[in-house]
Amino acid sequence: MARLNRSFPPGPLAASPASPQRQRMSARPPARRAALTVAVLLAIAVAHLAADDAASAAAATADPELARLLRAMALIKASMAAAAAWLADRLLRCPLGPGLAAGLVAAVALMAAAPVLMWHVAHVGAGALLFHAGMIALLVLGWRPAETWLAQRSRDRSR
């Protein structure tokens, strides 16, 4: 059976390999990775400050079993956000366009803020909205670099 060799053109946000910016982009990944760390920590802090402790305490005392369930869900979503941060960190090591890099950082920041809001039981809806918006953005933005990475990896293995 013949193996299909599909080549996809780079997207509008991807950096062109032939561009003169490629040499300058080699110095950018540490800055982009630092921006990812700062954005995640800032999103967590803002989510914690935005949460209403009195409403959270009232919701937790009204139904303690539901509060335990929602906090367990928040821990699961926090582990998913950590995996998304790892993926974005790996993708930010590749040469990416500035729009794509900023989108990846924003998507992970949204996903990182969501479990904090869900831990405060009164803000589950806002946390779910932020988490799923960040997840969709990460999937859409991470699609093109992952294709490039897989194509490069398969080319390297054939040698």
The secondary structure of 84-97 as a DSSP string is HHHHHHHHHTS---
Q: Which DSSP category does 134 fall into?
A: H
Percent helix, percent strand, percent coil in the chain, to nearest 5: 80, 0, 20
Query: What pLDDT, on the 0 to 100 scale, is given for residue 59?
Result: 85
pLDDT in tens, the chain (159 residues): 555 556 655 555 555 554 544 444 455 678 888 999 999 999 999 999 998 888 888 888 898 999 999 999 999 999 999 999 999 998 888 888 888 899 999 999 999 999 999 999 888 999 999 999 999 999 998 887 666 666 776 776 766
Query: What pLDDT, on the 0 to 100 scale, is given for residue 143?
Result: 81
Helix, strand, or coil (residue 8): coil
Query: What pLDDT, on the 0 to 100 scale, is given for residue 44?
Result: 95
Query: What pLDDT, on the 0 to 100 scale, is given for residue 155?
Result: 73
Query: What pLDDT, on the 0 to 100 scale, is given for residue 109?
Result: 97
Query: What pLDDT, on the 0 to 100 scale, is given for residue 7?
Result: 61
Query: What pLDDT, on the 0 to 100 scale, is given for residue 27?
Result: 54
The reported pTM is 0.73
Residues 147, 152, 153, 156, Cα dihedral to 10°: 160
